[in-house]
């Protein structure tokens, strides 16, 4: 009876997780999709707690209360601008959990094997009882699962920690590699595989091999992500999301938990697909992303001619009042300034004045996939005027005014004009083809990625300096 209830609950939870992923593909269905995920996770936790082989309910309840309270506090305190690094931090915890589960499985396996070799009968409970019931072939598969779980989990842990540090500004966003570059990664991987073979065949101390494998994987995760530049961090976040999913799936195989396998596979595959989509959007090679092999310059950057010309709020408002069509390009600067509310009000006033207003969203705008879409939805911007890059790029030549709010790389013409640029070949929003371009940014700095933008020096571009929220609020009273 217990097995039937648990299986049924896991099936329902899996369906809810699938519906949640599907719903997140659209802004209109995203809120409902989140609730699918919440209900599915609650059902999964209850089914696991009261399913066969469960125990230590008091300890489990204490852990749930501690984890739930911590998650609630973090969610209430973290700003939307900090979501990318929060996601990276969550990925690191999944990876670390996979490492701990792998080591625990090996410790329990060693205890069961020692008992089997002795003449004293031992009665096992919980996970150890599950291991004691497995055949030699199943034990061999378990060792493979333990190796993969620990290795992928360790790579995910340190990689996510470095991503968190880069996204939060604690570590320089420029790509850095140790002398030897990819050969160091290859050497660490080769040693890990060799020790994995020794572990699988039972030669030498198993725990020692797993410890060394963990250290090698820690290094690989660290070195891979340190070698990726800030311009490519959105892809890194989705890639680590995929890694954390496969680590969770490995945990599921180790524990014999079908739901964890399904959930991990969903996260792993969806993260991999998202990484692939983003790589296409940035004209990157998917394999290179996985290997941390991009993010650096290929030669000296092209010289930029001209100067950045500033404009005040009166000049921008005058251009907006005379324009018939306006395109707004939001970026991470809008998120930092929390300017989405002011932008939404500006949009409302411009549309009320009879102007065509649309938003242009690059696939990697911000530092997290979908970052801008969430902010605009939060500010009640109508979904139907929020367009993706491929839908709006051809319309820029007929656009009167483009307002860029805190964007840099996604509107950088060097991606098309400079083969030595770190973003060479990356599809970008071709805003420079519009009649007038206004760039709202705090100052003349290059931004997070450190890449200079020739757009800021073009004849049809004017720099609207200042905090994005304050700048937009200055425009509102001037819109007729």
| C-alpha closest to that of 354 among 315, 322, 389 | 322
Question: Is residue 316 very low, low, confident or very high in pLDDT (cuts 50, 70, 90)?
Answer: very high
SS (H, E, C) the chain: CHHHHHHHHHHHHHHHHHHHHHHCCCCCCHHHHHHHHHHHHHHHHHHHHCCCCCCCHHHHHHHHHHHHHHHHHHHHHCCHHHHHHHHHHHHHHHHHHHHHHHHHHHHHHHHHHHHHHCCCCCCCCHHHHHHHCCCHHHHHHHHHHHHHHHHHHHHHHHHHHHHHHHHCCCCCCCCCCCCCCHHHHHHHHHHHHHHHHHHHHCCCCHHHHHHHHHHHHHHHHHHHHHCCCHHHHHHHHHHHHHHHHHHHHHHHHHHCCHHHHHHHHHHHHHHHHHHHHHHHHCCCCHHHHHCCCCCCCCCCCCCCCCCCCECCHHHHHHHHHHCCEEEEEECHHHHHHCCHHHHHHHHHHHHHCCCEEEEEECCCCCCCCCHHHHHHHHCCCCHHHEEEHHHHHHHHHHCCEEEEECCCHHHCCHHHHCCCCCCCCCCCCCHHHCCEEEEEECCCCCCCCCCCCHHHHCCCEEEEECCHHHHHHHHHHHCC
The count of other CB atoms within 10 Å of the CB of residue 197 is 12
pLDDT, residue 296, reads 46
CA distances from 368 to 14, 126, 178, 348 (A): 25, 40, 27, 26
Q: Active site residue: 258, 409, 459, 467, which one? A: 409
The answer to whether 321 touches 387, Cβ cutoff 8 Å, is: no
The answer to whether 304 touches 55, Cβ cutoff 8 Å, is: no
pTM of the prediction? 0.78
As a whole number of angstroms, the distance between CA 125 and CA 233 comes to 45
| C-alpha closest to that of 439 among 454, 426, 418 | 454
Residues, the chain, total?
480
Mean pLDDT in residue range 305-319: 91
Question: Is residue 240 very low, low, confident or very high in pLDDT (cuts 50, 70, 90)?
Answer: confident
* pLDDT higher than threshold 50 for residue 294: no
pLDDT above 90 covers a percentage of the chain that reads: 36
Q: What are the sequence ranges of the domains in the chain?
A: 1-77, 79-290, 313-478
**Beta partners for residue 184, in sequence order:** none
Q: Are strands 401-405 and 386-388 parallel, antiparallel or unpaired?
A: unpaired
The answer to whether 210 touches 154, Cβ cutoff 8 Å, is: no
* pLDDT higher than threshold 60 for residue 299: no
Q: Are strands 325-330 and 401-405 parallel, antiparallel or unpaired?
A: parallel
As a whole number of angstroms, the distance between CA 270 and CA 286 comes to 14
Mean pLDDT in residue range 210-216: 96
The answer to whether 245 touches 264, Cβ cutoff 8 Å, is: yes
* pLDDT higher than threshold 80 for residue 174: no
Cα 460 from chain centroid?
35
For the ranges 29-38, 196-205, 382-391, which has the lowest average pLDDT? 29-38
pLDDT tens across 18-75, in order?
898 888 766 667 778 889 999 999 998 888 887 766 667 788 888 889 988 988 888 8
As a whole number of angstroms, the distance between CA 273 and CA 267 comes to 10
Residue with tokens 């198993």: 206
Mean pLDDT in residue range 385-397: 93
pLDDT tens across 121-163, in order?
666 656 677 777 778 888 888 899 899 999 999 999 999 999 8
Mean pLDDT in residue range 243-254: 87
Q: Which residues contact 273 (CB under 8 A, 6 or more apart)?
A: none
Give 313-478's CATH code, choosing from 3.40.50.1220, 1.10.3720.10, 3.40.50.720, 3.10.129.10: 3.40.50.1220
pLDDT tens across 434-471, in order?
999 999 988 776 665 667 889 999 999 999 999 999 99
Mean pLDDT in residue range 358-379: 83
Mean pLDDT of the chain: 85
Name the most confidently modeled range: 1-15, 32-46, 78-92: 32-46
Question: Is residue 109 very low, low, confident or very high in pLDDT (cuts 50, 70, 90)?
Answer: confident
Q: At what angle do helices 258-281 and 2-23 cross, to 10 degrees?
A: 10
* pLDDT higher than threshold 90 for residue 214: yes
Q: Which residues contact 206 (CB under 8 A, 6 or more apart)?
A: 106, 110, 199
The answer to whether 366 touches 354, Cβ cutoff 8 Å, is: no
Task: Give me 67's structure tokens.
Answer: 């984890």
Active site residue 409: yes
The answer to whether 218 touches 158, Cβ cutoff 8 Å, is: yes
- Greater model confidence, 411 or 425: 411
Residue 332, CB-side half-sphere exposure with 13 Å CA sphere: 24
């Amino acid at each position: 009876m217990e097995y039937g209830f648990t299986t049924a609950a896991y099936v329902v939870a899996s369906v809810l997780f699938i519906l949640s992923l599907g719903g997140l593909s659209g802004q209109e269905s995203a809120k409902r999709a989140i609730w699918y995920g919440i209900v599915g996770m609650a059902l999964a936790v209850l089914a696991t707690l009261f399913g066969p082989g469960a125990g230590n309910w008091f300890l489990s309840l204490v852990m749930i209360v501690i984890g739930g309270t911590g998650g609630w506090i973090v969610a209430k305190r973290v700003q939307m601008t900090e979501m990318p690094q929060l996601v990276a931090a969550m990925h690191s915890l999944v990876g670390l959990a996979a490492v701990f589960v792998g080591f625990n499985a090996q410790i329990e396996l060693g205890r069961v094997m020692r008992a089997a070799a002795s003449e004293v009968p031992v009665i096992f409970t919980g996970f150890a009882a599950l291991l004691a019931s497995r055949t030699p072939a199943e034990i061999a598969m378990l060792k493979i699962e333990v190796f993969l779980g620990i290795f992928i989990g360790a790579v995910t842990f340190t990689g996510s920690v470095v991503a968190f540090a880069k996204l939060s500004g604690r570590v320089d966003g420029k790509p850095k590699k140790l002398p030897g570059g990819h050969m160091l990664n290859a050497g660490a991987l080769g040693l890990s595989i060799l020790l994995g073979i020794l572990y699988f065949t039972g030669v030498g101390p198993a725990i020692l091999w797993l410890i060394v494998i963990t250290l090698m994987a820690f290094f690989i995760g660290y070195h891979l992500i340190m070698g990726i530049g800030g311009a490519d961090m959105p892809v890194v976040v989705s890639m680590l999301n995929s890694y954390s999913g496969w680590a969770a799936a490995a945990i599921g195989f180790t524990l014999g938990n079908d739901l964890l396998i399904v959930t991990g596979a969903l996260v792993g595959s969806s993260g991999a697909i998202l990484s692939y989509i983003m790589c296409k959007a940035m004209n990157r090679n998917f394999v290179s992303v996985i290997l941390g092999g991009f993010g650096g310059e290929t030669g000296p950057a092209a010289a930029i001619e001209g100067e950045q010309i500033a404009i005040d709020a009166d000049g921008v408002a005058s251009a907006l009042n005379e324009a018939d069509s306006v395109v707004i390009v939001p970026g991470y600067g809008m998120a930092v300034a929390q300017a989405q509310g002011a932008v939404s009000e500006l949009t409302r006033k411009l549309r009320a004045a009879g102007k065509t207003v649309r938003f242009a969203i690059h696939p990697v705008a911000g530092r997290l996939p979908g970052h801008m879409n969430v902010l605009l939805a939060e500010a009640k911007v109508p979904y139907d005027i929020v367009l993706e890059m491929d839908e709006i790029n051809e319309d820029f030549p007929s656009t009167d005014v483009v307002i860029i709010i805190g964007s840099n790389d996604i509107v950088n013409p060097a991606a098309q004009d400079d083969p030595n640029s770190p973003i060479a070949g990356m599809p970008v929003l071709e805003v420079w083809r519009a009649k007038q371009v206004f760039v709202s940014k705090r100052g003349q700095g290059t931004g997070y990625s450190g890449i200079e933008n020739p757009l800021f020096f073009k004849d049809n571009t004017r720099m609207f300096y200042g905090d994005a929220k304050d700048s937009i609020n200055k425009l509102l009273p001037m819109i007729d």
